[in-house]
Amino acid sequence: MTDLFDGFEIAGPAREPLAPGAVLLRGFAQPHATELLAAIEAIAAQAPFRRMITPGGHQMSVAMTNCGSVGWVTDRSGYRYDPVDPDSGQRWPAMPPLLRQLAEQAASEAGFAAFAPDACLINCYEPGAKMSLHQDRDERDVGAPIVSVSLGLPATFLFGGLKRSDKTQRYRLAHGDVVVWGGPARLAFHGVAPLADGEHARLGRRRINLTFRRAR
């Protein structure tokens, strides 16, 4: 089935349940990957990717930027959402309608209607970069789901339970795949294994991940 709204068309995805409240939508974003990457390039031109410092003083292996009314940042003072890019002192770029519509439609497809993201974290992985197991709990309201879009090189996504010690499952995420989790899975631990080297036709030796959230 094909859904059409505001000129934005997405083919019905192959659904792969991960856990109650979590689903992998295979190829959901692939039809509009070119437009998404163009939008990301425009965002990065205004707010360049950077490797942030954790509160413990470690530099992240993943380079990041943001768009939306607030952006996620980390430094010696902690993790938080801030409307201002600390590197430029300017507000983060606005979230392009294309990105917002993709997130809303993916959330709806996964069973979460009326998702209204106000933050989009944009992560750039190069070979060897990873994201350790963590929970997304810096948001004021964890009632809204997380929508995660993969572009570029394939990655191994780790998805566990509500405790760090819970067993994790491994899923290969390809260009255009989207994962949505909320409800009973909203605070599930998750991460990304070190990115394997490779060459993507559009992004070369990189993987771009978009993570949409309702932060405020």
CATH code: domain of residue 62: 2.60.120.590
pLDDT of residue 45: 98
- Continuous segment of H or E residues that includes residue 35: helix 33-46
10 and 102 in contact (C-beta within 8 Å)? Answer: yes
**pTM exceeding 0.85:** yes
pLDDT of residue 12: 58
Per-residue tokens: 196: 């394997």
Which regions in the chain score pLDDT beneath 70?
Answer: 1-13
Give the relative orientation of helices 33-46 and 97-109 as an angle to the nearest 10 degrees: 130
CA distance 209 to 62: 10
Which amino acid, 33? A
Number of domains in the chain: 1
Q: What is the span of the domain harbouring residue 90?
A: 2-213
